[in-house]
Amino acid sequence: MLLPPLPPRIGVVRMASHYQAMAEGAHVGGDLYAVTRVPGRCTRIIVGDARGHGLEAVPDASRLINAFRETAHRWAPLPEIVADMEASVCRQLSELPEHETAVAEHLISAVVVEIPDAHGPALMVNCGHPAPLLLHDGIVTALEPCEFTPPLGLCEPKGCSRRADPVPFAIGDTLLLYTDGVIEARATEGMFYPLAERVAFRTASGPDASLATSATTCWHMSAGL
């Protein structure tokens, strides 16, 4: 989907973004991102990837963007925000004609991060999405969730519990959020793209430097304090 560029700073967070579609000439797809503020408290960021390719994935990506914008600016615990996002997506899906919901699964992987304005850890809820990378003092760590939670859009009657994992995100650190187009990209020799290695080899600091070092065919975003 077509998304506006992000500002270089929101609250205490510096950020940069890059999008390059995998298909030549393509400008839209299921990758999504958004940022919002909870005034006086924190910045919330979402990166996601709707199932499918090109135009077929755009409606589901739009539904999740709408859900994030409806809910993420409110002051409530992050797992509650994500639960409300899932409810919003399911409500939007319930309004579709029956034949549209019967022919395809509407699954959207996403990771939602909350970065506080004051001191303290960031929080992350990962819904079946590739683990963000944290760069701290030259060391890259994949932020795997403590418990697996499924993608959004399943709309199960009882839903599922989602927990927020703490992220030790300090001044000078960089957090790289991306979609699977990066890690599934292959060289001509058949090797997968070594994203973590590329991030570790960067020589300058800040979100822009991380993107310049790691950029490949995907959408991804870098945020730093």
* Mean of all residue pLDDT scores within the chain: 79
Give the residue-averaged pLDDT of 147-156. Answer: 86
Contact 221, 33 (CB under 8 A): yes
- In this structure, what is the dihedral angle of CA atoms 173, 20, 49, 55, given to the nearest 10 degrees? 160
pLDDT in tens, 203-218: 555 666 555 555 433 3
| Percentage of residues in the chain having pLDDT higher than 70 | 68
Handedness of CA 82, 84, 87, 92 (dihedral sign): negative
- Alpha helices (H) in the chain, listed in sequence order: 58-71, 78-94, 98-102, 180-183, 195-200, 207-214
For residues 182, 184, 187, 191, the Cα torsion angle rounded to the nearest 10 degrees is 120
Q: What pLDDT, on the 0 to 100 scale, is given for residue 6?
A: 83
**pLDDT confidence of residue 82:** 95
Q: Is 70 exceeded by the pLDDT of residue 183?
A: no
pTM: 0.82
- Residue pLDDT, tens place only, 84-121: 999 999 998 888 776 455 445 778 999 999 999 987 89
Query: For residue 69, which phi and psi values (nearest 5 degrees)?
Result: -70, -30
State the pLDDT at residue 88: 94
Residue 133 parent element (H or E) = strand 133-136
Which of 4-8, 12-16, 62-66 is the least confident region? 4-8
174-178/133-136 β-pairing = antiparallel
- Give the pLDDT of residue 192: 56
pLDDT at 215: 46
